Structure 1
Amino acid sequence: MEASFRPAYLNLLESGALEERIRQANALLSPCRLCPRKCLAERLVGKAGVCHTGALARVDGWCAHPGEEPVLSGRRGSGTIFFCGCNLRCVYCQNFEISQGAAGREMSAAELAAGMLDLQERGCHNINLVSPTHVVPQILEALLIAARAGLRLPLVYNTGGYDALETLRLLDGVVDIYLPDMKYADAKTAERYSQVKNYPAHNRAAVLEMHRQVGDLQLNAEGLAVRGLLVRHLVLPNHLAGIRQIARFLAEEVSPNTALNLMGQYRPEFHAGEHFPLNRPPTAAEFQAAQQAAGQAGLTLPAGWN
């Protein structure tokens, strides 16, 4: 990483504003309004929300992940922290034991900060927060401890894309790289397969806010991401996800330079076998059609990312 890189959160740390962000985030935690579900669970007193999470974050583990996008994993891996629970209920989730099961254990802010510093010690290129939407206050508390102790890596917010603007605005100047999914273009499809209302509207508003904060993806001299927006879209069978509409939105309303990872690794997992046509992978022709749709919208797809 270039010596000139400076993570965004250091400015807030030095000004004292990071502590105020924590206070504001905790105010959204009880009753919980962190995500568009607004389930109103009193999480600060230990009541679990729809995400199956209470006052403390549950963590399945962390590792130097070699399998993320090359601009994140680089040579030494992306420092990935896997949070348990999720505000989505995807019937095809490949990590359902973590997202919808009882995996992991509760961790204090100090323990989570130690994990961040451990990943930095291992030489990871960034701290990659997987499924962070429902634990933003806990992440901010851990970040304050870790940054005071010397954390200097870019922060990646790796989300399913069902995020609330009020919560995202608390991350302005905190997150360096936003890594959202854009799962669906159609609200009824999202409700059927992920059990959330108005996913496209919330998702698009969130992606616009993310881009406002960090702009297009920026790489350093080593080809590693240090700032910006990187969107993921999982191609589903039978064109269920709606890449044509999503690609047009990105090119026309976000930026024609938006970095998009079009992912072709869908396979039937969890309850997918009960939902035709999710009971099969997309065909080669369906994936090729998705690539063509992105290209026709004006987006350039990086080679070798999926």
Structure 2
Amino acid sequence: MSTPYCCTDCPRHCGVVRSETYTPDVPMPGYCHTSLQPVVARAALHFWEEPCISGSRGSGAVFFTSCNLRCCFCQNAVISTTGSAGIPITVARLRRIYGELISQGAHNINLVTPTPYTQAILESLEAPLPVPVVYNCGGYESTETIDRLAGKIQIYLPDFKYCDASLSQRYSGAADYPDVAARAILRMYDQVGPYELDDQGILQKGVVIRHLILPGCLDNTKAVIDWVRNHFDDGQVLFSLMRQYVPCGQAADYPEINRPLTDAEYDEAEQYLFDSGIEDGFVQEKDSASSDFIPSFHGEGVLPESH
């Protein structure tokens, strides 16, 4: 009989014995409320990442159900928080999905909110892929898990949502987020090193740090920009300042963020970024703040064609 797996894959260290397989409508223990078996809501070419990720052919995005962070404003709340979408699959099927996306021309395999399924992902990447693998996460990661991913992940795409612990506790239930995310990002960089682009400008390895500006939280955004500037030199990491916030998930329960970002807020944040001297990265256009860019989660690309 195998030893039960007591989960400590993320910084919450629930220590619960997670079910090996997913059973619909059966409550799962732990913060992420899911099984070790991967549950995937969408697997398709994705064109809305940073240009160096999506390129001209798209990123092979695999959207996993559940999340270890569960932010109240998440635009993917239907899969990250409610768990109302997603199809349980085997590790072998997950590996075949990678191959199908690569055959469609994907520049990379983009694992979106993968942390709850660390075990399955490690198994699925036992043999190297012919394209880079992107670990697209909320930044709330344990350094131990990052160490286990060494050699499997070429590109880390973490958020750095908060430098303000009061905000991270209020909106994500994680007062330790600023310290945890900072340690995680530094470990990611130590593992993969400075970013590298190919001749077409497609990222082959490195770290892209994302930050979503929240309404009324400009001091937090400026602190994140300062942290990046103080910890990395030019040519080491890419920084993506995101203005795509629209009230989603449970944002209506938090009146102070239940509104779009104003032009004045974004202009101030963008100017602060430019003044910081950070040049390696991206900013977003105003029309990115639209629910039109939220993908549907109806199982596209998850089941074999015979289904």
* Residues 1:181 and 2:159 aligned together: yes
Distance of aligned partners of 1:241 and 1:133 in 2 relative to their CA distance in 1, 3 Å threshold: farther
Percentage identity across paired residues of the two chains? 39
* Residues 1:40 and 2:22 aligned together: no
Alignment of 1:101-180 (within 5 A): 101=82, 102-144=84-126, 147=128, 151-180=129-158
Counterpart of 1:178, as a letter, is Y
Counterpart of 2:18, as a letter, is R
Which residue of 263, 266, 270 corresponds with 2:242? 263
**CA–CA separation in structure 2 for the residues paired with 1:71 and 1:302:** 10
After superposition, the CA RMSD in angstroms is 1.9
Dislocated runs of 4+, deviation >6 Å? none
Q: Is the 8 A contact 2:234 2:280 kept in 1?
A: no
**CA–CA separation in structure 1 for the residues paired with 2:12 and 2:189:** 22
Deviation at 1:100, TM superposition (A): 1.2
TM-score (norm 2): 0.85
Unaligned runs of 5+ in 1: 1-25
Equivalent in the alignment of 2:273 = 294
**CA–CA separation in structure 1 for the residues paired with 2:152 and 2:72:** 32
Q: Is the 8 A contact 2:241 2:282 kept in 1?
A: no
SS in 2 for 1:111: helix
Counterpart of 2:33, as a letter, is H
Q: Is the 8 A contact 1:268 1:281 kept in 2?
A: yes
Deviation at 1:45, TM superposition (A): 4.6
Distance of aligned partners of 1:82 and 1:303 in 2 relative to their CA distance in 1, 3 Å threshold: closer
> Deviations for 1:255-276, whole angstroms, at most 9, x for unmatched residues?
3443111010101112112212
Distance of aligned partners of 1:241 and 1:229 in 2 relative to their CA distance in 1, 3 Å threshold: farther
- Count of aligned pairs: 276
Q: Larger % of helix: which? A: 1
Equivalent in the alignment of 1:249 = 227
Alignment of 1:278-293 (within 5 A): 278-293=257-272
Deviation at 1:215, TM superposition (A): 2.1
Deviation at 1:241, TM superposition (A): 6.9
Further displaced range: 238-247 or 180-189? 238-247
Further displaced range: 127-136 or 241-250? 241-250
Unaligned runs of 5+ in 2: 22-27, 286-307
Q: Is the 8 A contact 1:70 1:305 kept in 2?
A: no
**CA–CA separation in structure 1 for the residues paired with 2:40 and 2:253:** 29
Deviation at 1:305, TM superposition (A): 4.7
TM-score (norm 1): 0.85
